[in-house]
């Protein structure tokens, strides 16, 4: 394993951004920057050993700070996904959040964790990134300290370990928002998807959960056995943008979440998490975004597997809690494993 640090330029306000290049003994490579704790690229082999970048992103800071960046590869927080109306009540106190996705709050607000420069250092075979979010930032209570450890193993696992502590009771829901395409480009409709979930959270017209957890059996939402992402996507409103309830034997247990196979190249991606949910998003609103190497990303050319708690959990007592109190430690793990079928 080797990790090399290089400059990735500066933010508009003059902050230095660093890139960390991971290479394991199999030649798999990952590039992560400390702006947004963002996964910029992952190069993985096909059946013939040819390496291809399977993550969507940008070449420079101009792209990552551009208005059309759809959270490519970033850490989303304080609260990944949506909170209805940008409001929630905690211990009898109502909090109003930044409404950046009318009429809701999304992925932490206008200046969420995806737009922060994190402190970063190489620690052994990993990179540790840390951030302090002050009390009241984007409307969230409590000073929060977050740490993310990125590790690329010789089993071709890109492992993300999150921990956080707060000085005041708050809510917290972190995820990584990488967009994958195992062919390296083009439509992902032929990718074969399997998700370890027999229920999903039904949402209203604003993508807010109604509270119903519906069985996937016999519906376009059923990925319990592998099938093409595009097989029944037209039966959805815009495409998949839904939270699946992972079949866990115990809360917080590292659990197989999803497996994706790209039949022509043979590349596979497995996802594992300790979280209770995973958001399948199929890039429904990618709109001719100019990405790495001048490639233009179009609708449904990247998919996300965002491991998380359920959307709008602070407003649903029946969902697994996202509350974090002083003295408690938030901890979760997500693993993206690359292989060949």
DSSP string, 227-283: EETTSSGGGSSSS-EEEEEE--SSTT--EEEEEEE-TTT-EEEEEEESSSEEEEE--
Per-residue b or e along 151-166, where b marks 16 or more CB atoms closer than 10 Å to that residue's CB? bbbeebbbbbbbbbbb
Closest CA to 80 of 166, 143, 172: 172
The one catalytic residue among 107, 177, 191, 242? 177
306 is catalytic: yes
User: For residues 245 and 247, what is the distance between their CA atoms, to the nearest angstrom?
Assistant: 7
Helix (H) or strand (E) holding 324: strand 323-324
Note the helical H segments in the chain. 61-64
Tokens read off for 200: 């999903």
Residue 71 gets the label, from left (phi > 0), alpha (psi -120 to 50) or beta, of left
Is 177 a known active-site residue? yes
- Residue 97, SS3? coil
Determine contact, residues 166/143, Cβ cutoff 8 Å. yes
First to last CA, the chain: 24
Q: Residues 18, 138, 275, 306: which is the catalytic one?
A: 306
Catalytic residue list: 177, 306
């Amino acid at each position: 394993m080797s990790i090399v640090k290089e400059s990735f330029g500066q933010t508009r306000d003059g902050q230095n951004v660093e890139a960390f290049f991971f290479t394991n003994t199999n030649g798999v490579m990952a590039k992560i920057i400390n702006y947004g704790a963002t996964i910029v690229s992952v190069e993985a082999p096909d059946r013939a050993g040819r390496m291809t970048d399977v993550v969507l992103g940008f070449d420079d800071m101009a792209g990552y700070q551009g208005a059309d960046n759809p959270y490519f590869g970033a850490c989303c927080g304080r609260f990944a996904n949506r909170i209805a109306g940008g409001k929630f009540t905690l211990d009898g106190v109502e909090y109003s959040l930044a409404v950046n996705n009318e009429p809701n709050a999304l992925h932490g607000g206008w200046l969420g964790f995806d737009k922060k420069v994190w402190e970063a250092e190489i620690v052994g075979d990993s990179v540790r990134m840390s951030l302090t979010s002050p009390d009241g930032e984007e409307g969230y209570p409590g000073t929060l300290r977050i740490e993310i450890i990125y590790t690329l193993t010789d089993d071709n696992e890109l492992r993300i370990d999150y921990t956080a502590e707060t000085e005041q009771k708050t809510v917290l829901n972190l995820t990584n928002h990488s967009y994958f395409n195992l062919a390296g480009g083009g439509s992902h409709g032929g990718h074969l998807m399997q998700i370890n979930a027999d229920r999903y959270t039904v949402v209203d017209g604003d993508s807010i959960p109604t509270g119903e957890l519906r069985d996937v059996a016999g519906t376009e939402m059923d990925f319990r056995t592998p099938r093409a992402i595009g097989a029944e996507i037209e039966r959805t409103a815009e495409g998949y943008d839904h939270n699946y309830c992972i079949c866990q034997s115990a809360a917080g247990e590292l659990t197989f979440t999803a497996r994706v196979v790209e039949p022509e190249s043979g590349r596979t991606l497995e996802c594992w998490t300790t979280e209770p949910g995973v958001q399948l998003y199929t890039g429904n609103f990618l709109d001719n975004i100019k990405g790495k190497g001048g490639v233009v990303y179009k609708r449904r050319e990247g998919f996300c597997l965002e491991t998380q708690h359920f959307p709008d959990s602070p407003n649903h007592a029946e969902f697994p809690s996202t509350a974090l109190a002083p003295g408690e430690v938030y901890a979760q793990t997500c693993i993206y494993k690359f292989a060949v079928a």
